[in-house]
Each structure stands twice: as C-alpha cells, then as structure tokens.
Amino acid sequence: MEFKNLLVENNDFISWISIHRPSKLNALNLAVLEELQVLFAQLKTDKNTRVIVLTGSGEKAFVAGADISEFSHFDQNQGTDLSRKGKELVFDFIASTHKPVIAAINGFALGGGLELALSCHVRIATSNARMGLPETSLGVIPGYGGTQRLPQIIGRGRATELILTGRMINAEEALQVGLVSRVVPQNELLDTAALIAATIMKNSPHASSRAIRAIASAYEDGVDGMEKESEHFGACFDHPEFKEGTQAFLEKRKAKF
Ligand code: COA
C-alpha cells in the first residue's frame, strides 16, 4: 500500500512514522487511520523494526485530534461504531503491539491525537507541546480510549479534571503529572527518541515484549496482573536471549541481542 498521509522511514531497526496532513494539523481522518492500521500490522512482523517512533509532520502539531468534519453529522450508532472500530483497528492495536512504540509529541496533541499518544508505550514532548482532551467542548467525550488510558497514566482525579475542563496543558505540566517522561527543545526531539530507542535496543527484544505485555495486564479486566507477570517472567527462561544475557554477564562481556 502506498501511504499518502504518512511519511515512513526505517533506519537502524527504528521505524519512523510521521502523520502528514499539514494543512489540517495532522488531524486523524479515516484515510490516516486506515493507513496507520495497515502500517502497524506490517511493522508488527517486520524483521527490520525493533522500535517504532510516531510523530507529527511539521513543527506545530503532533495530531490536533480526530477530524471533526468527518463525524459532526453522525448519529448514535455511527458514533459507537466509530469509537469501537477506531480502538480495535488502531488505538488498541498500537497499545498491544509487542514492539516498543514511542510517541514524539512535537506540538498540539489534542483529542484523538492525545489518545494516539496514550496508546504508545513511551511519550516524550517538545517544550512547545500542548496536550488535552477537549471533546466535552464539542459535546462529546473521548472515544479512542482517553477516558480509560489517561486515568491509568496520570491518575483519576487529574484525568477527570482535564476531561471535564477540556483544558490544554503545556509540556512542563505534562512532565509534572507523568503524562510524558521527557521534555526537550524542538530540535532535539528526534535525537532524543533515537537515543531512547537505541537504549531499548541494547536490551533483549524478547524481554521488552514480555515487559510490555506484563505491564499491560495490570489494566486488563479479569486478569491477575501478578500472575501474568510470573508467566511472562517464566517464559523468558526458555528463550535464547535469556541464556545470552546471563551468559554475557557472567563472561563480563556485552550481550548480543
Ligand atoms: N479536525 C478537523 N480539522 C482540524 C482539526 C480537527 N481536529 N484541528 C485543526 N483542523 C484544521 C482547521 O480546521 C484548519 O483548517 P482550515 O485551514 O481548512 O480552516 C487547520 O486545521 C488549521 O487549524 P487552525 O484552527 O486554523 O489553527 P490554529 O493555530 O488557529 O489552532 C488548534 C490550532 C489546535 C487550537 C485548533 O485547530 C483546534 O482547536 N483544533 C481542534 C482541536 C480539537 O478539538 N480536537 C479534538 C477533536 S476530537
């Protein structure tokens, strides 16, 4: 598939994705969502991809939200469907990708744009970034996982305040509440993402994927996270990367993963 709304590059086992709809501040229309769905499905099994970095094209926006013009005329059934399908095909799919996904937030991350970042495993931002879930100002609520993931990440009280007020927070506040883990100047964003990716890639890909799944299991209904952790922990022992990692330590050399 040829991507018209995504810029995609792969260097040194990192796949870089830029959402590219500059005239609409990279707002997520159906075409962008379809392309993200296809691309993430490809990257899941791509041997040259160990870490994925998601960002927005240009210097103003990561993603300014779902494309409001596409759903303003929807009724209840269409709204429910939009939310369910979007989550299943893109937002939950990204969250459950076993390879680490880093959101590099380079400007506005609003509504569906912030929800996209919330689906990623790591979030970093530029100092000019602005984040928020302004859906209640449009007469709707976040529907791509925002009411669930934001409280998990920053706590219920803070998330409720942000969702009910719909206010935007700056990068400094986002760092303070744990919404992002680093804030850097605009011109250092991609280098910082590359550095985080490179640091992750020094470690076992198998262990990374197990860690992502173990952490996620804490938030799955009816799942005992502690038990899942034991299962994922145990599964590492039969994997060659565990043998390599422990052997390398004992032999006082760097592990080769
Ligand atoms: N859906 C559709 N189009 C959007 C959009 C969205 N979520 N966000 C921005 N755009 C479009 C604007 O309509 C405008 O298009 P136009 O030039 O054809 O009129 C273009 O992107 C530029 O946006 P503009 O509003 O002119 O930029 P700004 O710098 O004045 O304001 C924002 C930036 C982000 C504050 C403003 O665009 C905004 O509030 N966007 C909507 C945010 C939102 O509510 N998102 C949640 C949706 S669920």
Counting ligand 1 atoms within 8 A of each CB, the residue from 21, 25, 32, 118 with the most, and so the one to mutate, is: 25
Its CATH class, for the domain covering 6-201, is alpha beta
Do β-strands 6-11 and 51-56 pair in parallel, antiparallel, or remain unpaired? Answer: unpaired
- Distance between CA atoms of residues 257 and 241, nearest Å: 7
- 9 belongs to the catalytic site: no
What pLDDT shows up at residue 126?
98
Q: What's the predicted TM-score (pTM) here?
A: 0.97
Band of the pLDDT at 235, cuts 50, 70, 90? very high
What is the layout of strands, in order, in the sheet containing 122-126? 6-11, 14-19, 51-56, 101-105, 122-126, 182-184
Q: Please compute the mean of the pLDDT values over residues 36-42 and round it to a whole number.
A: 98
Counting ligand 1 atoms within 8 A of each CB, the residue from 19, 20, 23, 24 with the most, and so the one to mutate, is: 24
Q: Please compute the mean of the pLDDT values over residues 31-54 and round it to a whole number.
A: 97
Residue 70 Cα, ligand 1 centroid: separation in angstroms?
13
Question: Domain segments of the chain: what residues?
Answer: 6-201, 205-250
What pLDDT shows up at residue 41?
97
Q: Please compute the mean of the pLDDT values over residues 243-252 and round it to a whole number.
A: 97
Residue 175 Cα, ligand 1 centroid: separation in angstroms?
24
Largest CA distance in the chain: 65
- 135 belongs to the catalytic site: yes
Q: Please compute the mean of the pLDDT values over residues 41-50 and round it to a whole number.
A: 97
Atom of ligand 1 nearest to the CA of 60: 29
Percent of the chain topping pLDDT 70? 100
Give the number of residues written for the chain.
257
The tens digit of pLDDT for each residue in 141-166 reads 999 999 999 999 999 999 999 999 99
What pLDDT shows up at residue 1?
80
Token digits of residue 244: 């390599």
Residue 131 Cα, ligand 1 centroid: separation in angstroms?
14
Name the H helices within the chain.
30-45, 68-71, 76-86, 92-95, 112-119, 146-154, 156-165, 171-176, 189-201, 205-217, 225-237, 240-250
What pLDDT shows up at residue 122?
98
Q: Please compute the mean of the pLDDT values over residues 128-137 and round it to a whole number.
A: 98
- 67-73, Cβ contacts within 8 angstroms, sequence gap of 24 or more: 67/24, 67/27, 67/28, 67/29, 67/30, 68/27, 68/138, 70/29, 70/30
The tens digit of pLDDT for each residue in 116-127 reads 999 999 999 999
Q: Please compute the mean of the pLDDT values over residues 82-103 and round it to a whole number.
A: 97
pLDDT for 192 beyond 90: yes
Nearest CA to ligand 1 atom 4: 24
Q: Please compute the mean of the pLDDT values over residues 79-96 and round it to a whole number.
A: 97
Q: Which residues line ligand 1 (CB under 6 A)?
A: 24-25, 27, 64-69, 108, 110-112, 134-135, 138
Q: Average pLDDT, whole number, for the chain?
A: 97
What pLDDT shows up at residue 163?
98
